[in-house]
Amino acid sequence: MDVLACPVCKHFPLKLYVVKEKKKEAKKYEKPRCEVYCGFLDRYVKDIKEAPCPECYESKIIEGYLVCEKCKRWYPILDTVPELLPDRLRNIEEENEKAKKLGINNDGLFVKV
């Protein structure tokens, strides 16, 4: 989340919506992982007094989506991989299927939040 921006309008940060996650054992972590933006708390690092790094390291996002709050495009996260494709590489039928799987209302390549 600390490095992801909208591939179309370049807006940063993207808003994370988690649909399915899995807890894992975090054996070792360096604090903090994020340098600019914490997607776990949805806040800039400079505004966080106590970062929840252990909780973040123990969370693995399996399914979800990212939303650009500027242009309202959404990008799916499926099988732990965010798909940040520009419009010209996206297929409406495939996007509708991904949206249905994630339980969101797809309006073309956009989602209303």
- Residue 83: inside a domain: yes
Domain extent, residue 83, equals: 15-111
- Residue 6: inside a domain: no
- Residue 2: inside a domain: no
Number of independent structural domains in the chain: 1
Q: What DSSP letter does each residue of 39-62 carry, written as one string?
A: TTTTEEGGG-SS--HHHHHTEEEE
- Residue 3: inside a domain: no
Model confidence, pTM: 0.84
- Residue 34: inside a domain: yes
- Residue 10: inside a domain: no
Tokens representing 77 are: 């996260």
Tokens representing 53 are: 């790094």
- Residue 41: inside a domain: yes
Number of H helices, E strands in the chain: 2, 8
pLDDT one-digit tens code per residue, 77-105: 999 999 999 888 888 888 888 888 888 88
Please name which of 23, 55, 21 lies closest in space to residue 38, comparing C-alpha atoms.
55
pLDDT one-digit tens code per residue, 8-47: 999 999 999 999 999 988 777 666 778 899 888 889 999 9
Tokens representing 2 are: 């600390």
